[in-house]
Amino acid sequence: MKKAFYFLIIIFLASCSKKDGGKLVCNMTYNLTNEKKASLQTKAYSTSDRYTQFGDYIGSVTPNKFLIKFLSLKLCNTWENQNNNLDIIDNNKLDWTSTDRIADFSENSTVSIAIDGNIPADIEMIYLVSIPMFYYQEFELPEQYSGFTINVFGSNDLACLHFGSSSNIDYPAADSGIGGIKEGRIIKGSNNPLMAPIFDENWINVTLNGSPKPFPEWPRTTVFGNTDSTFIYSSTGTSIDDPLGTGGDIIRSSKFNSITIQAIPEGETKTITGIMTFNTEELIQIYAGKDNIPYTFDDVFVYAPKFWERISVILDSY
């Protein structure tokens, strides 16, 4: 009887171990330059692209610090069946304040993340779905703006910046996003005010019941891969261009190589290495605003046209 009991225990433990299988780790490096990037670009972005609705172009600024905090980062092998999707950053399991969520491009940082999920057979991942919480940057204003102060939507501010008073880069209230501060000519803050002119036609109307107006809903989801071009797609549900069915406006990008993840034998650990590049050269453009006079309070600071074309991802299998 005892032999039969121990035999059953051994079978149970063996089955549990087999179910766990091997382990997969992703080492993701974030940087501002990448020699391989050119091979992924079907259409290169241009630093000479300009808007026409914000007055005369004044100049451009390159952030000296740039990072993204991710809500989710997921590999997908199809849009029709999500059983084999793998989370690099799993919003449901990763602690909200974990540094694994932070991509510091200005520091060429590398984050090592253990990926949950068994790999029973080779799987080709044709998508990488990125959902950021926010972008954060620090940049220096041209010296002509030395006399300005930046408060909260004040009439004597640089109204275009729309920065609040918070310097905390943890994710804040969902309706307003991270704030920003000015230290001398140094601006520290989120992407919200720099995207508002692009995605909200009424962005200049900055009050709502006497309070700051919430920033517009910018396309938070970027779907890399399984396309030969880069564009914004308006989704109404799960499709080839929206494999997770997030809906709304999403960024589609061709700048990702599909990757085949091989089956991992039980007890072994395999590694994926990745490079995500965001070229921030002259990322922030400055325009003369409604009065079309440079260096006045209504000047417009905004991300360059098609800024999403500056992002690329390369993954290499083990």
What pLDDT was estimated at residue 252? 96
Sort strands 269-278 and 23-31 into parallel, antiparallel or unpaired. parallel
DSSP 117: S
Task: Work out the number of other CB atoms within 10 angstroms of the CB of residue 282.
Answer: 14
What pLDDT was estimated at residue 243? 93
Identify whether the C-beta of residue 223 lies closer than 8 Å to the C-beta of residue 254. Answer: no
Tens digit of pLDDT at every position of the chain (318 positions): 544 444 333 333 333 434 456 789 999 999 986 444 444 443 455 667 899 988 999 999 999 999 999 999 999 998 877 667 899 999 888 888 888 999 999 888 999 998 877 777 888 999 999 999 889 888 998 998 887 654 433 333 343 343 433 333 343 333 333 456 777 788 888 887 788 788 876 665 554 444 455 556 788 899 999 999 999 999 998 999 999 999 999 999 999 989 998 888 888 888 999 999 999 999 999 998 888 999 887 788 899 999 999 999 999 876
Torsion of CA 185, 186, 188, 190, to 10 degrees: 60
Question: Identity (one letter) of the amino acid at 69?
Answer: K
What pLDDT was estimated at residue 44? 55
Angle at 158 between CA 155 and CA 47, to 5 degrees: 150
**Nearest CA to 277 among 44, 106, 69, 27?**
106
Could you tell me which residues come within 8 angstroms of residue 68 by beta carbon, excluding any fewer than 6 positions away? 30, 102, 103, 105, 132, 134, 135, 136, 278
Give long-range contacts, CB 8 A cutoff, 24+ apart: 78-86.
78/126, 78/243, 79/127, 79/238, 79/239, 79/240, 79/242, 79/243, 82/243, 82/244, 84/117, 84/123, 85/117, 86/24, 86/115, 86/116, 86/117, 86/125, 86/261
Which residues are paired to 232 by β-bridges? 251
Question: Identity (one letter) of the amino acid at 274?
Answer: G
What pLDDT was estimated at residue 129? 96
What pLDDT was estimated at residue 71? 92
What pLDDT was estimated at residue 210? 46
Secondary structure class of 10 (helix, strand, coil): helix
What pLDDT was estimated at residue 296? 81
